[in-house]
Amino acid sequence: MNLHLVRNGHSKKLPRPIHDFMRRRFGVLPEYLENLRCFEFEDAVNDKKVKRYRIYSPTKAQQHKITIAGMSDLEKHPDMLLYEGYIDKERRAYVADRRSFLRTK
């Protein structure tokens, strides 16, 4: 895996292709999507360069008294990771739901 990662880069709002995919695929309300934040990094999927995204809710983190200042904080608190996805060079998006209540034990 060719991973170029800024460990503690700043989070940002969701890119439009990710936002639109999540609305269509998961039926997520626009108001909720506007509050989500993501960390972006370069990666490869099926040997093609993509921009990967790890998506979390600052509101959920605050409710749990957790500070998410960078990707390393999401790694320390995996239950804060809600979605993961990528955008390819053609601007096509894909997002997977990673919410912890969906995981089987």
pLDDT digits (tens, 9 = 90+) for 44-90: 998 999 999 999 999 999 999 999 988 899 999 999 999 999 999 99
C-alpha separations of 100 from 1, 90, 97, 103 in Å: 25, 30, 9, 5
In a domain, 1, yes or no: no
Mean pLDDT of 19-38: 95
Q: Is 21 part of any domain? A: yes
Residue 101: pLDDT band with limits 50, 70, 90: low
Structural domain contains residue 30: yes
Contact 30, 37 (CB under 8 A): no
Domain assignment present for residue 87? The answer is: yes
How much of the chain exceeds pLDDT 90, in percent?
A: 77
Q: What is the mean pLDDT of the chain?
A: 87
**Whether pLDDT at 92 is above 70:** yes
* 84: in domain: yes
**Total domains present in the chain:** 1
Q: Rounded to a whole number, what is the largest CA-CA distance in the chain? A: 39
Burial class (CB in 10 A: 0-12, 13-18, 19+), 33: middle
Q: Which domain holds residue 55?
A: 16-100
Q: 5 versus 37: which is more confidently predicted?
A: 37
Query: What DSSP character marks residue 8?
Result: T
SS3 call for 52: strand
